[in-house]
Amino acid sequence: MNIVQRHIFESISIDAGFSAGDFDRLWALHALLSTKSCPVNYFALLDAALKHPLLLDQKPATIDRNVERSAAFFGIAKARVIDAALKHPPLVSQRPETLNRNLERAAALLGVARERFIAAALKKPQLFTQKPETLNSNVLLSAAFLGVTKEQFVAAVLKQPQLASQRPETLNGNVLRSAALLDTTKEQFIAAALKQPQLFCQKPETLNGNVERSSVLLDIAKHRLVAAALRQPQLFYQRPETRDDNVERSAAILGVTKDKFIATALRQPSLFSQRPETLRDNAERSASLLGITREQFIAAALRQPSLFCRRPEGLNDKLLYLAKIGEAFDAPRSAAQLLETVPAVFTCGNTHLHARYILARLGLKRAVLPTLVSLPNRVVSGLILEHFERQIAQTGKGERALQVMHAQGLIATLPLGIAPIPRPPRRGISNAIRPAPYAGRPKVSEVRPSSANPVRVRGHVPVPS
């Protein structure tokens, strides 16, 4: 910086109560920490010195050396340690060896990887200087107050490190107050907050105020919005005006009334938070991939709202399975027909659909598509196991197919005497259940039964293609 800038900063520093000597040390420290690639804001450094005057008692070179050694211990860039120290200046007053020892001890007591603890501490640098035993004690006491496991609360702390510095009694009091204001149970509020730990740190009155304001803007009963927010917790702290604007724009994009969109979003609360542009793009992309009109997709998604929130490519993958199931029944249906009659089938997982495809392809169950897809997993698994056990008894072949299906999660258990194998790698939809060669065994290939080629399985698992 030039002489004019130095003079300006010196005047500001002295006006803030620092002596000329203090400014010289701050200026020297700024010169050591700030680089062209990672500049340090002088005012941030000045603010750090106001919060922690002991910073001025250390030599600039010592502070710089501590920062570099801490960065080396933590395995992170020097700039990240500087950012943390500007938020929590005592960080540079502790010996790097002590910080590293505390960090390892804290991670061990909390049962988390060292890297995950460092990531959390960079968000809340006080964690670097807090005694490990005190931190662990607070976590245990907070978990006991909330009625959750230590592991659950630690997971919340890693997402929202501010929790670690809250007194357990205060935390519990806020939870009780929030639950009372929102007219829900403590357990329900905690379940939502574990998904979105920021809720633990919000003032109860703020949360309740947001809900009440939103219920007025959206013209829905408070209890209905609370029910939706318990499923989509960020609704509790999203700005009511932002949410209302999203709803109005989303309704306009989809060509429906605001009331219609709200009714749909109450069934799929994530729609309240989804950007209208993302909603539009997903609808258009999904319609394009499925070979239908945008209006057809929107009409189906209004009946099955989770379709709005699914990846267009994922919906297209499911269509492959559904088409193959239809072919196995000699009753193929187009995407438009499926979405018009049974849109819920597009919400099933690929493994769920693939197991039903195998059932249909092997002729083990004749049923209409909705009935087949809704069959319980235990029933599907039982029918497949029964078929292959019978085949093994008759021909001695089929163990490999069962091992592959079990590894891919298509069947829950294996018969006695058949050992499990590691899960083969997934390589795209056309190879969803087809594993790579395993331990010298023959490669699993596709079964294509027909009247001229009845189903014969020798370590084969049917797969859509």
Domain range enclosing 403: 373-465
277 inside domain = no
Mean pLDDT of 361-381: 86
Looking at residue 458, its pLDDT comes to 38
Say if residue 233's pLDDT is above 70: yes
- CB-based burial, 353-386: b 16+ in 10 Å, e otherwise: bbbbbbbbbbeebeeebeebbebeeeebbebbbe
Mean pLDDT score, 162-182: 95
Poorest-pLDDT segment among 152-161, 176-185, 341-350, 430-439: 430-439
> Which of 12-21, 22-31, 123-132, 268-277 shows the lowest mean pLDDT across its residues?
12-21
Is there a domain that residue 449 lies in?
yes
* pLDDT grade for 205, boundaries at 50, 70 and 90: very high
What is the identity of the amino acid at 17? G
Tokens 């030599």 belong to 59
pLDDT above 90 for 448: no
**413, part of any domain:** yes
The larger pLDDT score, comparing residue 425 to residue 242, is at 242
* Measured CA distances, 409 to 353, 403, 420 (Å): 12, 10, 11
The verdict on residue 411 lying in a domain is yes
What is the tally of structural domains in the chain? 1
Phi, psi values for residue 348, rounded to 5° = -75, 150
d(CA 38, CA 103) in angstroms, rounded, equals: 25
Mean confidence (pLDDT) of the chain: 87
Taking residues 453-464, what's their average pLDDT? Answer: 43
Length of the chain: 465
What band does 8 get if pLDDT is binned at 50, 70 and 90? confident
Model confidence over 63-85: pLDDT tens digits?
A: 999 999 999 999 999 999 999 99
Rank 33-42, 216-225, 416-425, 443-452 by mean pLDDT and report only the highest. 216-225
Mean pLDDT of 104-116: 96
Examine residue 390 and state whether it is found in any structural domain, yes or no: yes
Per the CB < 8 A criterion, the answer to whether 28 and 34 are in contact is no
pLDDT digits (tens, 9 = 90+) for 406-433: 998 899 999 988 999 987 666 443 444 3
Residue 428, pLDDT score: 43
* 111 has pLDDT over 80: yes
| Cα separation values, 423 from 269, 350, 398, 404, 420, Å | 34, 16, 18, 8, 9
Q: State residue 4's pLDDT score.
A: 64
Residues 129/104, Cβ–Cβ less than 8 Å: no
Q: Would you state the pLDDT for residue 3? A: 73
Q: What whole-number percentage of the chain has pLDDT above 70? A: 90
Asked, for residue 206, whether it belongs to a domain, the answer is no
Residue 447 has pLDDT above 80, yes or no: no
Q: In angstroms, rounded to a whole number, what is the distance separating the alpha carbons of residues 402 and 398?
A: 7
What is the structure's pLDDT at 113? 96
> What number of H helices and E strands is found in the chain?
24, 0
The torsion angles phi and psi of 354, rounded to 5 degrees, stand at -65, -40
pTM across the whole model:
0.77
Q: 369 falls in which pLDDT band (50, 70, 90)? A: confident
List the end-to-end C-alpha distance of the chain, in Å, as a whole number: 65
Quote the pLDDT of residue 115. 95
- 388 is a domain residue: yes
From CA 23, how far away is CA 29, in angstroms rounded?
A: 10
Q: Is residue 2 assigned to a domain?
A: no
Say yes or no to pLDDT of 360 above 80.
Answer: yes
**For residue 329, what pLDDT is reported?**
77
